[in-house]
Chains A and B, each alone.
Chain A
């Protein structure tokens, strides 16, 4: 039997953030990522999972082992139904924070992955998609 190629993990508590990190570690290992690449993806996932939990009032992380040409990679989508981000440009500025963090969450996560997309609507929620290739 083949291992599943996609799935979903809840982000409803702080403990879920820890579980999400551990899941991403396991998935990147299965894909044969180098230790540095594993660590980068796990760290990016941790930042985005925390954002979804803290600012998005909880949500979920969807994962998918994906192929791009002859490359394999991991795609993660963080979805919340929180307040959305009113000023995305500002939120994507290093050091800017609406909460108690360092303001490194979004911009930092973006630097750690190969592909980054964010879709947010005030009052509806936020969806952040990241991909890291092996």
Chain B
């Protein structure tokens, strides 16, 4: 069975989408990720699409849904590595992915997550 691997790195999950996904595979990833967030109590998810040559409305919706579900489950999702041609096409298609945080690459995405989680942590501790 085809499957996109989800790597656990401490508090974060890292997903690298390297293949041209068919729709069911995209839906399966969405399921697997929400289960993984819950199972590991993950605080952040990085979705690396640097090798994806195309994002259409279906994949765009999947990413937006993952981001929304993650938020409800207490994890911040960051989409990283989108190719410029993909970004230009997505906007023209009419998808600007509102509510989805993005970063240029995995490294920067990780920094953003760390900072965000550190900030949340201080908020929770009184005094």
Chain B residues with CB under 8 A of A109: 93
Residue A6, interface by CB 8 Å? no
Complex Cα distance A107/B61, Å? 16
Given A21-B54, A39-B53, are A108 and B85 also a contact pair (CB < 8 Å)?
no
Tell me the nearest residue of chain B to A103, going by C-beta: B57
Task: Categorize the interface residue count of chain B.
Answer: 20 to 34
Q: Within the complex, which residue of B20, B21, B24, B60 is in contact with A22, where a contact is CB–CB below 8 Å? A: B20
**Is A14 a contact partner of B55 (Cβ separation < 8 A)?**
no
**Is A101 a contact partner of B24 (Cβ separation < 8 A)?**
no
Given A36-B85, A43-B55, A101-B57, are A18 and B94 also a contact pair (CB < 8 Å)?
no
Q: Tell me, rounded to whole Å, the shortest Cβ–Cβ distance linking A58 to chain B.
A: 14
Complex Cα distance A15/B23, Å? 8
Q: Can you list, as one digit per residue, whether each of A37-61 has a CB less than 8 Å from chain B (1) or not (0)?
A: 0111011001100100000000000
**Is B57 a contact partner of A36 (Cβ separation < 8 A)?**
no
